[in-house]
Amino acid sequence: TNTVYVGANDGLLHAIDAANGNELFSYVPNALFPKLYKLTQPNYVHDYYVDGEIAVSTNFETPGKNILVGSLGRGGKTLYALDVTAPSSFDASKVLWEYTDADLGLALGKPIIAKMNNGKAAVIVGNGYNSATERGMLLIIDLETGALLQKIDTKAGSSTATNGLASPRGWDADGNGTLDYLYIGDLLGNLWKIDLTSATASSWGTALGTAAAPTPFFVTVDPDGNRQPITGMVGLGINGRKGDPNFGKRYVFIGTGSYITSTDETSKQVQSWYGLIDDGVAI
């Protein structure tokens, strides 16, 4: 629709006509109303509002319409969804849902929208940081209704070893347009592979280990044996170099590091880039 969407710390998501810069509409997520008053205070201290990443569906995931999903990032523990098929005529009826959950923290990663193997269009997001349980959780939500399709608990993290999942990256293994696998990292250095190949949402889960005892695909450690946090998005690719012994294999690329907490500013921990081959087993 030739529209730019951007969140801001004025409490608003802004929709801007890319052709002329005019604002088409603005939206205040309901979860932010309790702290809007702070913006008018003479002694205002900086706070975050609509700080999170945004994803918009295409005609493939939602034929005939576009649905926007955003997180509040550091502004709050909420996801919101809007029907933005016709931005110039946006009104209250186009607000689809807002989602909160005890396992949803400050989601700093970018949500992804995908067609799933159960026929549903879904938004998938890592739960982020400072959730009630402090564990790494992956949330898969029905894009149109806001209903939770599946919550995948990695079991990694606790009140003494705080954790959260970053940005997911999906992979369509059979090329039919639906999401089959997903890779995502956490603060404790775990890289998780998620199996979404089933047509039944309740069967989605970690690809390795069991639901009761999930196994990460890989664990990042520095030269001293300390875990390296993964807070960025995973990269994926196929080795297309003919003659190479790993020709045709799926490669997984990750970088470690964190710039989230105040202690990160002075951390001198060694961080790394990793290139991994997925042969279907834990490394």
User: What's the rounded Cα separation, in Å, for the pair 36 and 26?
Assistant: 15
Q: Is the pTM of this model over 0.85?
A: yes
Which pLDDT belongs to residue 255?
98
The neighbouring-strand residues paired with 277 are 251
Cα atoms in the 13 Å half-sphere on the side-chain side of 256: 24
Contact 151, 137 (CB under 8 A): yes
Task: For 11, list phi and psi in degrees, rounded to 5.
Answer: 90, 5
* Rg of the chain taking only CA atoms, in angstroms: 20
| Residue type at 252 in one-letter notation | V
d(CA 222, CA 224): 5
Strands (E), 20-87: 23-27, 54-56, 67-71, 79-83
Residue 7 to residue 17: CA distance in whole angstroms: 15
Among candidates 187, 199, 156, which has minimal Cα distance to 261? 187
Single-letter residue type at 5: Y
Retrieve residue 188's tokens.
């404790």
DSSP 3-state of 139: strand
Phi, psi angle pair for 61, to nearest 5°? -75, -40
Task: Say if CB 233 and CB 263 are below 8 A apart.
Answer: no
44: Cα separation from own chain's centroid:
30
Positions of the chain with pLDDT under 70: none
Secondary structure (DSSP) of 215-251: --SEE-B-TTS-B--B-S--EEEE---TT-TTTT-EE
Q: In angstroms, what CA-CA distances link 215 with 129, 167, 229, 280, 281?
A: 21, 19, 17, 12, 10
Provide the pLDDT for residue 99. Answer: 98
Strand partners, 122: 114, 142
Give the per-residue pLDDT at 112: 97
